[in-house]
Amino acid sequence: MAQLLVYHNPNCSKSRATLALLEENEVEAEIIHYLETPPDIDELKQLLARLGMGIRELLRRGEPDYSELGLHDETLSEEIIFDLVCRHPILIQRPIVVKGDAAIIARPPETVLAFIEDAG
C-alpha cells in the first residue's frame, strides 16, 4: 500500500474523525500537523494538483483570517493568495489525505474509506 499522508489539525473534529476511521480500519498514515509545519508554495501547488482544484477552492471562507486578509477580493492574484495561505495555514480546508498522486479533502470523514480503497 502506498504511503498515506494526512494533513491534520487536532482542533478540527472532522480531522480527528478521519484519523479515528483510519485507526479503526488499521490503516497507517503519516500525520502532518500543517499548522505547526505549514506547506510551502511548491508543496501547496502539488497538493492542489493532486486534489484537482484551484487555490481559492481550498480556502476556508468561514475563518476570521479569510475576511481580515481580504481574500474575498476576486482581484487578488494567485501569487498573493498562495503567500497568504502559506503564512496563515488555518485557511486550508482539512483534513487532506494524500495517497500517491491522488488526494481528497475528507469531508465528510467517511470519504476517506472509499478513497483508500480506490487509491489502493
Angle between helices 78-87 and 41-51 (to 10 degrees): 110
Which one from 5, 12, 21, 31 is the annotated catalytic residue? 12
Annotated active-site residue 12? The verdict is yes
Cis previous bond, 109, omega within 30: no
Longest dimension (CA), the chain: 45
CA-nearest of 88, 98, 86, 93 to 14 is 93
- Catalytic positions are 12
